[in-house]
Amino acid sequence: MRYFSFLWCLLASCSLQTNKQLGESQPVVRELSESKQKQRITFLQKKLQSAEMEQRKAEFWVKQLKKEIQTARLALIRKQVDGYEVKFQTDLSREDFFENKESLFMKEREELYALIQSDTNPDAVALLDRILRLITDLSDDREKNSGKR
């Protein structure tokens, strides 16, 4: 029995080497018995299901990480806007605000706009509205101060 299985393996490997030499990169499946082909198909289907499950898990984690990044960005921008509003309300001279009013929160406005375009986030909309209102208040204050002079 051992001799027979050894001889079968030797013939199978010779057949595979001959096929590779002829330019075929995959073993000839038609030489397998019907039950072996069914086993191979079952094995490949299970492997495919496993790969699809891993892909779904990876996609889930990518979405989770994107949400966490978005939340962290919104929190950072909100903190910056809060600090700027406090500074604007307490600072009486406000001259430094007028100098960079056009570029005020430019990067943050672009980030918020991108967030709103990709996923309508109510927090991003409200934060962008606060920034634009702050810029409008700065402009109005500038016009009032220039009218007094």
Instruction: Give the C-alpha separation, 114 to 93, whole Å.
Output: 34
Q: What is the pLDDT of residues 106-124, one digit of tens each?
A: 888 888 888 888 877 888 8
Minimum mean pLDDT among 9-18, 44-53, 58-67, 87-96: which range?
9-18
Instruction: Give the C-alpha separation, 67 to 82, whole Å.
Output: 22
Mean pLDDT comparison of 7-11, 50-54, 113-117, 120-124, highest-scoring range: 50-54
Q: How far is CA 83 from the centre of its chain?
A: 30
